[in-house]
Amino acid sequence: MTEYDPFARGPHPVGVRTIDVPDAARDRVVPVEVWYPATDGYAGQDLDDATRDAFELMPGLPASRQDAVRDAEPAAGPFPAVVFSHGFAGHRRQTTHLCTHLASHGYAVAAPDHVGNTVADVMAMIMNGVTMADAGAYVAQSAADRPLDA
C-alpha cells in the first residue's frame, strides 16, 4: 500500500459546474460553483489545456483556467462534502487550486458567491463613490447575512 500524500493530486479527474440557487427570501439567485470527482473517461482532460475549464473571474480581466472539465459527468458517489466560503470582496472561484485538489481526492466542493459582497460588487461600490460610513454599514450587514448564504 502506498503512503497517502495530501500534497499530490488525487486519483480522480475533476468536473465543475455552476448551479444557480434561488434565494426567494432575499429575491435573488446565488451562483454556486461545484467541483466533484468525474468519471474515469475524463482522466487527463482536467489537466489538458485543450479541455481545462476557462472562466472569467471579473469583467475585463483575461480568462483564468482551472484543472477541471466543465459539466463533466460525475463519478458515482457518495462523496463527502466541503463548503468553501470566500471572504469579503472575494469570489466563488478565487481558490480553484484548492477546490479542484479536494475534488481530485474524492470530495464534492460547493462554493457560493456571497451576492453583493464579491470583488466585482465591491469594485462597483468604490467606482460609484460609496462613502466610508456607508461602507462600514455595508460590511456589518454583509457579515450578518453571511450565514444565510449557506
**pLDDT in single tens digits along all 150 residues of the chain:** 678 888 899 999 999 999 999 988 888 899 999 999 999 999 999 999 999 999 887 778 888 999 999 999 999 999 999 999 887 778 888 899 999 999 999 999 999 987 777 777 777 777 787 776 676 777 777 777 777 776
Distance CA 132, CA 67 (A): 39
Q: Which three cell numbers stand for residue 137?
A: 454599514
Q: Residue 119: what pLDDT?
A: 75
The structure's pTM equals 0.83
Q: In the structure grid, which three cell numbers stand for residue 111, read together?
A: 462554493
Nearest CA among 123, 149, 64, 139 for reference residue 99: 64
Domain limits, the chain? 14-149
Cβ atoms < 10 Å from Cβ of 78: 7
The pLDDT value given to residue 21: 93
